[in-house]
Structure formats: C-alpha cells, structure tokens
Structure 1
C-alpha cells in the first residue's frame, strides 16, 4: 500500500545525508563527494529551495564576492548546485517549478522528484532520469529532518 503523503509532512528544513547518481550500467557516483553538505526547505506557502555543495570547496584568493579568477569561479560552480521555486505534491510525487537555479537550463522547468520514503526523521527523493557526465542517471537524495536545538 502506497504511503499517503500530506503537504505538512514535507514542510520544514532537511539536511543532506547523501546524494548519489545511479547509472543503468551499475555505476554509482557521488557528484559532490561522499561528504556533501546541503539543505532542502519546504515552506507552508508552497515554495522550496535546495542547495548542495562539496564538503571542502577551495577559497578564492580575494574576499570580493563579485570577483575571482575564471578557474576559481568554474570550480565554485562545479562544486555547488542550488535551485528554488514553487512546489506541488501529488501522491508520492513532488514537482519543483524552478524559478532560480545555478544551472540556468533548469529555470522555467519542472523538476520531478519521487518520494521513496518519508517519516518524521528522513526523506528519500529519487529524481527522474537526468543527463549526467554524458549518460542517463537517476539521482537518490537522502535528507534528515533538521531538529531545532540539535547539532544534526
């Protein structure tokens, strides 16, 4: 029997546990490393925001947020992804309607996620197949509910 998911079940802040890409040939990759960090927020107003980053990102040589070498900027972009916008929940599918994104190709698109598991402590999302490193892959993202006052 499929789990009935209410919008209230998603609302809150989730911390990333892991993100992996599973390829049809059995290969599994961790695009932001095995210790990636991130947050996923779902608001009661129907908006979401997701950020994922490699655990140890190199610092720029400057403190100026609007400058940096082309190489520094490229490395920063490769080690980070974020997007946000309204979301809709239908059964075990949550659709993220992307309004802003580090990856500009996602803006104006819907990113579909399948809820594989959800309880008060953990959320497991599966992506629809995506193109990653030139091959089709499915993303699996495991999130832990952020508990106020804890070190999560």
Structure 2
C-alpha cells in the first residue's frame, strides 16, 4: 500500500512538541494534551485543526462580538489550515498547500513535511527547522488513526 493510500482518512492529535536547536527545554505550544484532527481525502485535499485543551469560551455567544483579549486568547491556542496535499512516494515525504489558513502568512504556501507512518501512528514535522517563539525548532506532531464515526 502506498503512503498516500495509508494517509487517507482522519487522524487525532496525540502530541505536539517543539524541540529548540539550542538545546533548551522542549516546548508544548498547545499544552501537553492538545486536541486536533487532520484529514486526508482520496481526491487530494487535507484539513488540519489543532487547539489547546481547556480553552475559555467568549463571554457572549456571538462570534463577531468578542472582546479583543478573547480573540487574542483564542488565536494563540488554535492552528487551522486546509488545502491540497501531495505525496512523494520515493522520498516518503508529504506537502501541504494552504488554500485557507487561520495564520494569514501561510496562505498560498506549500510546506514540506517529514512523515513516518506505522501501526496506526502518523508522525509529522518540518523537513528543516522553523522559527517559533524566536527560536529555531523542529516540531513533532504525533497523530493516531481516528476511529470510524
């Protein structure tokens, strides 16, 4: 079975850690118990939605009437993007192309991912260090195959 075929379906986020190149302590951007779903469709689309556990609701139930501090708190604990994906079977790598993204800087980008998949566990990360919180880091996101709904 090809890597692409193995990716198809939904995956639940198990962990997300950033390991700084400078040897400082690893960081958990969404806490130690993040929640998330990443989905890959047979026709070549993907969607990733990740968030910290225990996010506070807005004071009022109107998406467009939150206080500035509520938007800051919500935005700093959420990652979301969707678009096309492609697999290089020979190199066993994956790319995500951002058609929509919560982080506007990613719009239109195609980002490579290192990928490992075995026994229902998918591990993704960048192919080279990224900058996060002012440090060069390697991210590692571990996903488990989601149960059928």
Asked if Structure 1 and Structure 2 have the same fold, meaning a TM-score greater than 0.5 normalized by the shorter chain, the answer is yes
Q: Give the aligned partner of residue 32 of structure 2.
A: 34
Q: Give the aligned partner of residue 96 of structure 1.
A: 96
Find the aligned partners of 2:131 and 2:100 in 1 and give their Cα distance. Answer: 20
Contact 2:9 2:39 in 1 (8 A): yes
Q: Give the aligned partner of residue 6 of structure 1.
A: 3
How far the C-alpha of 1:120 sits from its partner, in A, is 4.5
Q: Give the aligned partner of residue 63 of structure 1.
A: 61
Find the aligned partners of 1:72 and 1:5 in 2 and give their Cα distance. Answer: 43
Q: Which consecutive unaligned segments of at least 5 residues does structure 1 have? A: none
Find the aligned partners of 2:3 and 2:26 in 1 and give their Cα distance. Answer: 31
TM-score (norm 2): 0.93
Q: Aligned pair 1:118/2:117, yes or no? A: yes
Q: Which consecutive unaligned segments of at least 5 residues does structure 2 have? A: none
CA-to-partner distance for each residue in 1:124-143, whole Å, 9 max, x for gaps?
Answer: 11213211001111110000
TM-score (norm 1): 0.91
Find the aligned partners of 1:47 and 1:98 in 2 and give their Cα distance. Answer: 10
Q: Give the aligned partner of residue 49 of structure 2.
A: 51
Contact 1:94 1:114 in 2 (8 A): yes
Find the aligned partners of 1:120 and 1:43 in 2 and give their Cα distance. Answer: 20
TM superposition outliers: structure 1 runs of 4+ over 3 Å? none
How far the C-alpha of 1:92 sits from its partner, in A, is 1.5
Q: Does the residue aligned with 1:108 lie in a helix, a strand or coil?
A: coil
How many residues are treated as equivalent by the alignment? 145
Contact 2:51 2:78 in 1 (8 A): yes
Q: CA RMSD in A?
A: 1.3
Q: Give the aligned partner of residue 16 of structure 1.
A: 13
Contact 1:88 1:95 in 2 (8 A): yes
Find the aligned partners of 1:36 and 1:82 in 2 and give their Cα distance. Answer: 13
Q: Does the residue aligned with 1:123 lie in a helix, a strand or coil?
A: strand
Seen in structure 2, the aligned counterparts of structure 1 residues 20 and 93 have a Cα distance that, compared at 3 Å, is same
Find the aligned partners of 2:2 and 2:137 in 1 and give their Cα distance. Answer: 26
